[in-house]
Amino acid sequence: MATPHINAEKGDFAPAVLMPGDPKRAERMANLLMPDAKVVSDVRGIKAFTGEVDGKPLSIMASGMGQPSLAIYVTELFTEFDVERVIRVGTCGGLSDVVKIGDVVIANGAHYEGVINTHLIPETHFSAVASHNLVQAAWEAAEGDPGVVVAPVISRDRFYDVPREVDEAAARVGTAGAEMEAGALYGLAARHGKQALAVLTVSDHLTVDSVDMTAEERETNFQKALKLAVAAALS
């Protein structure tokens, strides 16, 4: 049954969905992993693809930018289309000096700004954490690669005008990167009894001077993160 934002039918989505932010990246991933994938939804230019990888069903769909956009799609996937796990495959800005441009962060938790998860437990600060089994599957797939770290990130509702001292404070408590979706994803998974993970490529650095990835590089340099996300999705 179609929803206001997904014009698919029951059974069109696999139990596991990879979710980049960018619709172009979603299509590129689908063409790379599942050349014969079927387009199962295309509302507002957000295409969703379903096919098979190594004989197992898999779907790929973009989330758009930001936690509110992701929350719409993920809520509908969890509640209307029998999706059991969503793995975000995206980028983040590096915060800790333990990560450099091109490294991959397996986000085991997400600090978050705003009120996206405050309704889940009244008068309590909700802990937005990934599903342990997915973290473990992605970490094992990394096979000891020193360019892969397991660490928390911070999920923000703003891209610009974040004070440098805020980034530095986050880095001091071991936060590897800043991004805009994982906190909502982890909260929704907890709310609906599902599983979630974010696997993020460090595309720029917010506390260390570096040369940022270009927009084209952000779109195409996802192979390592994609490998780990697929391992988690199909585990």
Q: Would you list the DSSP string of 136-151?
A: HHHHHHHTT-TTEEEE
Residue 166 CA: distances (Å) to CA of 57, 112, 113, 161, 173: 41, 13, 12, 11, 11
Known catalytic residues?
204
- CA angle at 201 for the pair 30 and 148, rounded to the nearest 5°: 110
Per the structure block, which two tokens stand in for 174? 């071991």
Residue 46 CA: distances (Å) to CA of 6, 31, 90, 153: 9, 15, 16, 26
Q: Measure the CA–CA gap between 223 and 178, rounded to whole angstroms.
A: 20
Q: Measure the CA–CA gap between 54 and 49, rounded to whole angstroms.
A: 16
Residue 219 CA: distances (Å) to CA of 9, 28, 83, 136, 222: 29, 9, 25, 26, 7
